[in-house]
Amino acid sequence: TRRGVPEAILGDGKTAAETASLAATAVETTGRAIVTRTDDDQQRAVRTRLADDHPAAEVTVHERSGVVVAHDADFEPPDVAATVGVVTAGTSDAIPAGEAAVVAGEMGATVERVEDVGVAALTRIVDQLDRLRETDVLVVAAGREGALPTVVAGLVNTPVIGLPVSTGYGYGGEGEAALAGMLQSCSVLSVVNVDAGFVAGAQAGLIARAVGSARGEDDDE
Amino acid sequence: TRRGVPEAILGDGKTAAETASLAATAVETTGRAIVTRTDDDQQRAVRTRLADDHPAAEVTVHERSGVVVAHDADFEPPDVAATVGVVTAGTSDAIPAGEAAVVAGEMGATVERVEDVGVAALTRIVDQLDRLRETDVLVVAAGREGALPTVVAGLVNTPVIGLPVSTGYGYGGEGEAALAGMLQSCSVLSVVNVDAGFVAGAQAGLIARAVGSARGEDDDE
Amino acid sequence: TRRGVPEAILGDGKTAAETASLAATAVETTGRAIVTRTDDDQQRAVRTRLADDHPAAEVTVHERSGVVVAHDADFEPPDVAATVGVVTAGTSDAIPAGEAAVVAGEMGATVERVEDVGVAALTRIVDQLDRLRETDVLVVAAGREGALPTVVAGLVNTPVIGLPVSTGYGYGGEGEAALAGMLQSCSVLSVVNVDAGFVAGAQAGLIARAVGSARGEDDDE
Amino acid sequence: TRRGVPEAILGDGKTAAETASLAATAVETTGRAIVTRTDDDQQRAVRTRLADDHPAAEVTVHERSGVVVAHDADFEPPDVAATVGVVTAGTSDAIPAGEAAVVAGEMGATVERVEDVGVAALTRIVDQLDRLRETDVLVVAAGREGALPTVVAGLVNTPVIGLPVSTGYGYGGEGEAALAGMLQSCSVLSVVNVDAGFVAGAQAGLIARAVGSARGEDDDE
Amino acid sequence: TRRGVPEAILGDGKTAAETASLAATAVETTGRAIVTRTDDDQQRAVRTRLADDHPAAEVTVHERSGVVVAHDADFEPPDVAATVGVVTAGTSDAIPAGEAAVVAGEMGATVERVEDVGVAALTRIVDQLDRLRETDVLVVAAGREGALPTVVAGLVNTPVIGLPVSTGYGYGGEGEAALAGMLQSCSVLSVVNVDAGFVAGAQAGLIARAVGSARGEDDDE
Amino acid sequence: TRRGVPEAILGDGKTAAETASLAATAVETTGRAIVTRTDDDQQRAVRTRLADDHPAAEVTVHERSGVVVAHDADFEPPDVAATVGVVTAGTSDAIPAGEAAVVAGEMGATVERVEDVGVAALTRIVDQLDRLRETDVLVVAAGREGALPTVVAGLVNTPVIGLPVSTGYGYGGEGEAALAGMLQSCSVLSVVNVDAGFVAGAQAGLIARAVGSARGEDDDE
Amino acid sequence: TRRGVPEAILGDGKTAAETASLAATAVETTGRAIVTRTDDDQQRAVRTRLADDHPAAEVTVHERSGVVVAHDADFEPPDVAATVGVVTAGTSDAIPAGEAAVVAGEMGATVERVEDVGVAALTRIVDQLDRLRETDVLVVAAGREGALPTVVAGLVNTPVIGLPVSTGYGYGGEGEAALAGMLQSCSVLSVVNVDAGFVAGAQAGLIARAVGSARGEDDDE
Amino acid sequence: TRRGVPEAILGDGKTAAETASLAATAVETTGRAIVTRTDDDQQRAVRTRLADDHPAAEVTVHERSGVVVAHDADFEPPDVAATVGVVTAGTSDAIPAGEAAVVAGEMGATVERVEDVGVAALTRIVDQLDRLRETDVLVVAAGREGALPTVVAGLVNTPVIGLPVSTGYGYGGEGEAALAGMLQSCSVLSVVNVDAGFVAGAQAGLIARAVGSARGEDDDE
Ligand SMILES: Nc1ncnc2c1ncn2[C@@H]1O[C@H](COP(=O)(O)O)[C@@H](O)[C@H]1O
Ligand SMILES: Nc1ncnc2c1ncn2[C@@H]1O[C@H](COP(=O)(O)O)[C@@H](O)[C@H]1O
Ligand SMILES: Nc1ncnc2c1ncn2[C@@H]1O[C@H](COP(=O)(O)O)[C@@H](O)[C@H]1O
Ligand SMILES: Nc1ncnc2c1ncn2[C@@H]1O[C@H](COP(=O)(O)O)[C@@H](O)[C@H]1O
Ligand SMILES: [Mg+2]
Ligand SMILES: [Mg+2]
Ligand SMILES: [Mg+2]
Ligand SMILES: [Mg+2]
Ligand SMILES: [Mg+2]
Ligand SMILES: [Mg+2]
Ligand SMILES: [Mg+2]
Ligand SMILES: [Mg+2]
């Protein structure tokens, strides 16, 4: 794992058998497997295969986001003394936001989920401000016009990573308006590509690691 | 004037002399001239020319938006019993927002300006809610990510017309992200083209006329 | 329902069971369900489910536009004293135009449909002028080159909302030429995104409500 | 001249001296010069130079379209027994429409101009129907949404060539909406590129030549 | 039939039954049906339905282009004294070129097909020059870089209509490079949209009618 | 200053007098002025104006990046116990990279510049690895194909913010290829818009603040 | 075969039977068949058909790239005294890189494959430098940000042909960022279209032929 | 000079003084200066400066392409036993084609220019076939539809590098249609970016070096 960023297996476009086989190899060689964008078949195949090959491994299926994680019995997860917040505007943001949450968690950060706080109903965001302000870094997912990261970044002091989601149709649909809006944001943000939940979560994980290890520096003294 | 929408003279790309001459003709034939996107030279030329040809005409120069309006002595402005709100996110929205305000006013509506309420600082919007809610229709201008109309439409019951402004650079710059974001908005909006302040104001004017004449219907009975 | 705009369930990309279940919940909680972009399976599933859970509910399936509406026995529909016209250029505009008509109707407006008046045969438009002029606001749908709203807006005094439809192939196909043409229109229009019939109808409904409540104001005096 | 299409000199981006010199050479070698997109300086330079070098040449400056044509004393213009109509929606179409008219005329066709018949005011088009129907082929120029060729082609039996003009700003501006709209037209049209007045006129000239020589075929018998 | 351009039924996206039913109605009302972009099922359904309803009708299926044409026993096809050439660069141009050929033929023109003369092998074009030069108007189809119309128009005196075809992948694929190349052509051309074989053929048919009726003018005298 | 991000004055499109006046106001109200994208005239005007109004203020002109910073005598700059690295591929990256460096510095971080380490000569990057690895967060600027952030992020453990620069011409020029390449990066990165040096530096400053204050946490205990 | 570039049959969009039949004809007429983008069915059909019709032919199926090659017993492959290197960044480059390798090999060149040397891990590239430097021309395939050809061309003296691959999603996905990045490259490169492995291999084959025949020139003396 | 590709100074956007100074430094350090995209002022300044600093240097100004080359007295130009052909469609291709010719020449190749052989007049190309066939590699420049490289590559055995030129206006203008057309070419080509004459010439130079050194291999034996 370069930079502590775990390798992940992309389920999209692979057969259930291929996916299961790659997952088994990952557990074999690194003690862990992370598989993203899986469907039911792939999830079942991974479970079955790991039950055979690595019966001691613990397998977690995140259904809404399609991510599968397996830890072998002796896998020692990293631990980072920092919190990553993952915020969504609506249910259609579940897949990339879920990927971000999983990868940040697997990098050792504590993950805080804040859901369904779309910009068309500001009070819901304001109600969550305390939770948002307690994180060290935020991933904010949003589709269609993608305005949520701008609004959130106007309310907190933590760094915000915008994660555009491929919702919407017509002009600016499929995440284009969201990406463009986040790049044009009046608030200070950095962004990742449309649906790149894994990248957003990993970047948040890297920032959490930097903060967490700064926190720990005095411990070493 | 078709539909009560006054003709306007577009200053862009015309000489000061041409502009002045078209303004004089407009006053001559319709009792009124509206000139948009004028610079200092054009404004001076229009003033001078009308002082000569139509000394009784009243000339108003809207400096921030570059709009010039002239009414001849006997011009009878229309009167509409409805209010158009024109909202801006920042100073760079002044030109199209000013065009919208002028044309709506010239169509007879009362115009209410609400300024500098960008989405990166929500409290300023919330502070203006009462004024926003008293209008019959709103034109909301915004550049860069253009999220303001979405947020406003989530807070009021009146119809909102989004007016994207050509600010911003890089991907989605020059008003593209703003237009795309408004077309993708999670709130119910209709929109006009980038910088089309004249069109937004005229559409708001048509809605105000519909509301105003409904208000007046009992008077006729 | 914010601003009187009813929530709708988007059938696209949901299973028949999911769709039916969301419809039942909507009837349960609000007394009404509106489901758009449904196919035969979804329509059947919604009917069956509501027959079980809400036997008193009245279910209407709009076949050409794929919209399903259910009203529970005690649902009190809003009533607005204003008329929304919905105009189409051809049969391929049926889906978004139907969505617009349903949502405007559900918001309480009287809805007037004017069909198949494409710009390549002007006489058909001229024949319908009286009906067009009796409305308070018009939604005009058109695909391919999308010129119909421009022509209609040149003939009436009411506000026009252009609704571009995703017909056409090659350059400018899938509604792009129609959207661009409406944004560039020589007539005064506001527009919504390609195929955004729901948004067009809701915006028309908001304008109708403004007009209708103005009409009613004297009643209160 | 291949296919009877005369060579033309493009004034854009050339100095007055270069332009004049190329015009003189053209008169020298072919008896004729056609210079497009000229400004005042270039027009004066061409006149002066030809007065010196070819005092017998007749020089015509088309001011609105910026085209200059010179015929030497002994130049024998072609003659074609057919009429090309050139139709414009507004004054901003003057340059490409003027180019089309000049080149069709120089190819020998009779040219009929029909001006300012935009689609937002249908009656003006209808008033010109008889003149439009007497032509053998039509070039129809239009900017912004470019709907005029569609409407005209719905009213006549002659072939129509759509000529999009680079007017408009924002999305679809600079002629893009017009080009896309003409390519998507519900009426049968062929088109040329944005502002390609020369090409439209030459294609109309080729069609006129085909018609004219068919007309003349019996003469030869 | 406006302008002598026959209505056609677009098979794409219709069921076999719908297609057959529309074809039967067309034969019923106009004596003729033209159905484009049909697959095997639709072709069979049309044949079967017409055998039932209009047993005297003659049905022709153009397999490579997917066009079906039916003429009722008493249908009197138009006759035009002019020839339309339809030229293709390769086998992938068969569908739009076939549509062009059928519609031009149905408008009464003689149709001349010239096939597989791609620009990467110039000698094949040169070998066909005599046939090309005998036509009155040419439709030239080409995909990928779409250079064929430019080369052909450099070799003949007849008007050329470029028909871009949606072949190619990557940048400029799906007919975009072909369309752009034809609009930028160094030769004089007009063009239609990508794959718009019907439009190209109909425009060629209108030109052929103009030429043919000019040819006939003396006959009437 | 929201989130500790200082307001900056954008010199682009303002007169020298306007710029100077805004700078004087900023020093007046906040003790500091930051002006970006200034030319010689604006720099001179700011110096002169501040010499008059705030003679005690210290003014620094960053010539290569066009940024001017002024601190009044009693301005107390923030201090953050963390380092921001700013890396450039070539001299054309000077303006946005300089903006990033200034804003990060003004937010209190130590700034480390690493220059001219383009990907076409890998050894220069490798030579700087130790310096790169000692930073807490990196801004990596690159134009044309923008590959530098990908390569750097493959070599360090710190979070990397990609800053695309508007160099290059033709397809993908003006920073588009760089932006797209960074969004597609095989390494974990977040990015800002083309030329948005201010945003990149501010985001790096926010991360540095998070790290720095984590470092300081034990001090408070 | 023009220029020694063999014709290939594109499997995409053809039935197994059509593909097999075209392959049989190719072996019949040229002694060789090359079929690209085949799936399992097509591969089986080609094998079966050739076993029947050309039992002596040797058939090779390249599984990862989907290319099938058949040589009849008496086919005499060309022989070129030069080496083409084919380099890939990852496994998703297998199809176009495989096409490039096969066509270069079929043109007679020696082909050297260098695999999985992505830019995010520079050491792997450096480890292969000796092999890269021994080739006469290189095809370098890369998807996503497509930076590999730039890095390779900075390390070798041989000409490099960039082959962008349609991997990646979101902005710049499907090979667009890779194509743009290669066209903007800081190193000297020429490129082919996205996924155009056949073209890249053939161009490399032409260069290898030029080098190889130069090598052989003294032999002839 | 990496790979024997000389560094060049880009005149665009530099003052005459800066350009002259960089040229003087280049001569000082490498014995040679190549300056591209220069205007009259820059050319004069380079001449004057080198006359002062390096009076023995030989300075050549290529007027049509704006390239200036200086060789100090003791500069030893490389010598390559191979020929690069540089082909243009028209005079507007002079700048990038001239850059290509100069850089290939400075890399030691013999350069053969073939001019004004546009595809609209095939005979001019055919007349030059013998010269084209005697080269070892060809750079073929073309603007507008950019079809020339396709046609040339269909007639010769040498590798062809397509060089799109930024001519044309409207859709596909500024070299986009040319780039797309070359990437879609039916003939085997590789391409460089729009106007990237330097890159095309350098790539041709690298191929010429590979061929030339192959030619020389026996000499060394
Ligand atoms: N700022 C503006 N935006 C859009 N349309 C305008 C504007 N100002 C004037 N117009 C309209 O543009 C047309 C005037 O164009 P012109 O003949 O060039 O002065 C008229 O239809 C005006 O109503
Ligand atoms: N291949 C085609 N390309 C373009 N237009 C067509 C085609 N086939 C039919 N049409 C036209 O499309 C319209 C029929 O659309 P529809 O009502 O969907 O069958 C008619 O105006 C036809 O003339
Ligand atoms: N180079 C820059 N890039 C992006 N934003 C900037 C830049 N310089 C200043 N700003 C921001 O732009 C806004 C200033 O805009 P203005 O009112 O036009 O001066 C403020 O929010 C600044 O923080
Ligand atoms: N993978 C490929 N990429 C590009 N061109 C190909 C490919 N495979 C075959 N071709 C070429 O495409 C043409 C074959 O098209 P088709 O007639 O549809 O089989 C021939 O000129 C082939 O040389
Ligand atoms: Mg959203
Ligand atoms: Mg804004
Ligand atoms: Mg339409
Ligand atoms: Mg128009
Ligand atoms: Mg072709
Ligand atoms: Mg770079
Ligand atoms: Mg890659
Ligand atoms: Mg060309």
Long-range CB pairs of A22-27, under 8 A, 24+ apart, other chains included: A23/A49, A23/A50, A23/A68, A23/A70, A24/A49, A24/A50, A24/A53, A24/A54, A26/A70, A27/A53, A27/A54, A27/A57, A27/A70, A27/A72
Residue D199 burial (CB < 10 Å; 0-12/13-18/19+)?
buried
C120 contacts E193? CB cut-off 8 A: no
Residues of F with CB under 8 A from a CB of B: 2, 164, 166, 175-176, 179, 193-196
User: What is residue E218's predicted lDDT score, i.e. its pLDDT?
Assistant: 58
Domain boundary among B18, B44, B71: B71
pLDDT confidence tier of residue C221, bands split at 50, 70 and 90: very low
Q: Cα(C183) to centroid of ligand 8, in Å?
A: 12
Is residue E16, in this structure, part of any structural domain at all?
A: yes
The ipTM assigned to this model is 0.94
Give contacts of A169 with chain C, Cβ < 8 Å: 193-195
Q: Is the pLDDT of residue B55 over 60?
A: yes
Question: Distance between alpha carbon G142 and the CA centroid of its chain, in Å?
Answer: 13
Please check the confidence at residue E201 and state whether its pLDDT lies above 50: yes
pLDDT of E13 strictly over 90: no
CA distance D36 to D100: 10
Q: Between A and F, how many CB-CB pairs are < 8 A?
A: 98
pLDDT tens, residue by residue, G39-70? 999 999 999 999 999 999 999 999 999 999 99
Q: Among partner residues B183, B190, B200, which is closest to C203 by beta-carbon distance?
A: B190
Contact E147 H144 (CB under 8 A): no
pLDDT digits (tens, 9 = 90+) for A151-199: 999 999 999 999 999 999 999 999 999 999 999 999 999 999 999 999 9
Q: Choosing among E1, E179, E192, E194, which should be mutated to test the C contact, i.e. which has the most C CBs within 10 A?
A: E194
Output the domain CATH number for residue C33. Answer: 3.30.1370
Report the C-alpha gap between E99 and E94 in whole angstroms.
Answer: 8
Q: Which residues of chain G have pLDDT under 50?
A: 219-221
- Mutation site, C185, C188, C198, C213, interface B, largest B CB count within 10 A: C188
Kindly state the helix (H) or strand (E) to which residue E87 belongs, with its residue range.
strand E83-88
Same domain, A24 and A114: no
Chain B hits for C152, Cβ within 8 Å: none
Q: Look at residue E220 in the predicted model and tell me its pLDDT.
A: 44
pLDDT in tens, H128-184: 999 999 999 999 999 999 999 999 999 999 999 999 999 999 999 999 999 999 999
* pLDDT at B91 (0 to 100): 83
Partners for G (CB, 8 Å, 3+ pairs)?
A: A, E, F, H
Q: How confident is the model at residue A221 (pLDDT cuts 50, 70, 90)?
A: very low
Question: Least CB-CB distance to F195: which of B121, B170, B172?
Answer: B170
Number of domains observed in the structure of chain A: 2
Please report residues of G whose CB lies closer than 8 A to that of E121.
2
pLDDT band at E130 (very low <50, low <70, confident <90, very high): very high
Judge whether F221 lies within some domain: no
| Claim to verify: residue G98 and residue G131 sit in the same structural domain | yes
Taking CB atoms and an 8 Å limit, are D119 and C154 in contact across chains?
yes
Query: Are C38 and C115 found together in one domain?
Result: no
CA of E37 vs chain C CAs: smallest distance (Å): 13
B220 in a domain, yes or no? Answer: no
Cα–Cα distances in angstroms (integers) from residue E147 to residues E96, E120, F195, G194, H142, in the given order? 17, 10, 38, 20, 13
Query: In 3D, which of G62, G61, G65 has the Cα closest to residue G165?
Result: G65
Tell me, yes or no, whether G22 lies in a domain.
yes
Q: Which atom of ligand 1 is nearest to the CA of B96?
A: 1
Both F127 and F184 in one domain: the answer is yes
Residues on chain C touching D119 (C-beta within 8 angstroms): 119, 147, 150-151, 154, 186
pLDDT above 90 as % of chain B:
87
B8 lines ligand 1 (CB under 6 A): yes
Per the CB < 8 A criterion, the answer to whether E193 and D145 are in contact is: no
Instruction: Decide: helix, strand or coil at residue E107.
Output: coil
B214 lines ligand 1 (CB under 6 A): no
Residue pLDDT, tens place only, D130-163: 999 999 999 999 999 999 999 999 999 999 999 9
Q: Do C181 and D177 touch (CB under 8 A)?
A: yes
CATH number (domain holding residue F197): 3.40.50.1970
Residue C158 C-alpha to ligand 7 middle, in angstroms?
A: 21
* Ligand 1 proximity of B116 Cβ (cutoff 6 Å): no
Q: What is the pLDDT of residue E217?
A: 80
C106 C-alpha to center of ligand 5: Å? Answer: 25
Chains that touch D (3 or more CB pairs under 8 A): B, C, E, H
Ranges of residues in chain H whose predicted pLDDT is under 70: 1-2, 218-221
Q: What angle do CA C176, C179, C180 make, to 5 degrees?
A: 85
The dihedrals phi and psi of C183, each to the nearest 5 degrees, come to: -70, -30
Chain C residues with a Cβ under 8 Å from any Cβ in chain A: 2, 164, 166, 175-176, 179, 193-196
Is the predicted pLDDT of residue A71 greater than 80, yes or no?
yes
Indicate if ligand 4 lies below 6 Å from the C-beta of G116: no
C160, C206, C218, best to mutate vs chain B, most B CBs in 10 Å? C206
pLDDT in tens, C68-105: 999 999 999 999 999 999 999 888 899 999 999 999 99
Q: Is the same domain home to F25 and F88?
A: no
**pLDDT of chain F, 221 residues: tens digit per residue:** 568 899 899 998 889 999 999 999 999 999 999 999 999 999 999 999 999 999 999 999 999 999 999 999 999 999 999 999 999 988 889 999 999 999 999 999 999 999 988 887 778 898 999 999 999 999 999 999 999 999 999 999 999 999 999 999 999 999 999 999 999 999 999 999 999 999 999 999 999 999 999 998 854 44
Are there at least 3 beta-carbon pairs closer than 8 Å between C and F? no
| Cross-chain CB nearest to D218 (options E154, E199, E218) | E218
By C-alpha distance, which of D100, D63, D93 is closest to D165?
Answer: D93
**Is position B39 within any domain?**
yes
On whether both D88 and D169 belong to a single domain, the answer is: yes
Pair A95, A200 in one domain: yes
DSSP E strand stretches across E157-219: 160-164, 190-191
Ligand 4 pocket, residue G8 CB under 6 Å:
yes
Contact H189 G203 (CB under 8 A): yes
H144:E178 CB<8 A: no
Rounded percentage of chain E residues whose pLDDT exceeds 90: 87
**Are D115 and D184 members of one domain?**
yes
Cβ separation G171–A176 shorter than 8 A? yes
Contacting residues of D for E191, CB less than 8 Å apart: 190-192
Q: Looking at the structure, tell me whether residues C196 and C119 fall in a common domain.
A: yes
Residue G132 falls inside a structural domain? yes
Question: Chains touching chain C at 3 or more Cβ pairs under 8 angstroms?
Answer: A, B, D, E
Largest CA distance in chain A: 58
Domain range spanning residue E94?
83-212
Percent of chain E past pLDDT 70, that is, above it, reads: 97
Cβ–ligand 1 distance for B192 under 6 Å, the answer no
Query: Tens digit of pLDDT for each residue in B109-143?
Result: 999 999 988 887 778 898 999 999 999 999 999 99
- Is B157 in contact with C193 (Cβ distance < 8 A)? no
Q: Are residues C101 and C200 in the same domain?
A: yes
**Which residues of B fall within a CB distance of 8 Å from F166?**
170
> Domain check: are G23 and G126 in the same one?
no
Chain-chain contact of G177 with F181 (C-beta, under 8 angstroms): yes
Asked if the structure places residue B218 within a domain, the reply is: no
Q: Which of B150, B151, B152, B188 to mutate to test the interface with C (most CBs of C within 10 A)?
A: B188
pLDDT score at C92: 86
- Average pLDDT of C178-199? 97
**Residue D118 has which token pair?**
């935009």
Q: Which residue is closest to G174 within chain E, CA to CA?
A: E170
Where residue B216 falls among pLDDT bands split at 50, 70, 90? confident
Q: Which atom of ligand 1 is nearest to the CA of B195?
A: 3
* Residue nearest to ligand 3 atom 22, measured at CA: F8
Mean pLDDT, chain G, rounded, equals 94
The residue of chain D nearest to residue E184, with distances taken between CA atoms, is: D193
Using CB atoms, list chains with 3+ pairs below 8 Å to chain E. C, D, G, H
The pLDDT profile of chain D, 221 residues, written as one tens digit per residue, is 568 899 899 998 889 999 999 999 999 999 999 999 999 999 999 999 999 999 999 999 999 999 999 999 999 999 999 999 999 988 889 999 999 999 999 999 999 999 988 887 778 898 999 999 999 999 999 999 999 999 999 999 999 999 999 999 999 999 999 999 999 999 999 999 999 999 999 999 999 999 999 998 854 44
Residue E52's Cβ-count burial label (10 Å; 0-12, 13-18, 19+) is exposed
Residues C56 and C95 in one domain: no
* SS3 readout for chain F: CHHHCCCCEECCCCCHHHHHHHHHHHHHHHCEEEEECCCHHHHHHHHHHHHHHCCCCEEEEECCCCEEEEECCCCCCCCCCCEEEEEECCHHHHHHHHHHHHHHHHCCCEEEEECCCCCCCHHHHHHCHHHHHCCCEEEEEECCCCCHHHHHHCCCCCCEEEEECCCCCCCCCCCHHHHHHHHCCCCCCEECCCCCHHHHHHHHHHHHHHHHHHHHHHHHC
Domain assignment present for H78:
no
For residue A142, the CA-to-ligand 6 centroid distance in Å is 17
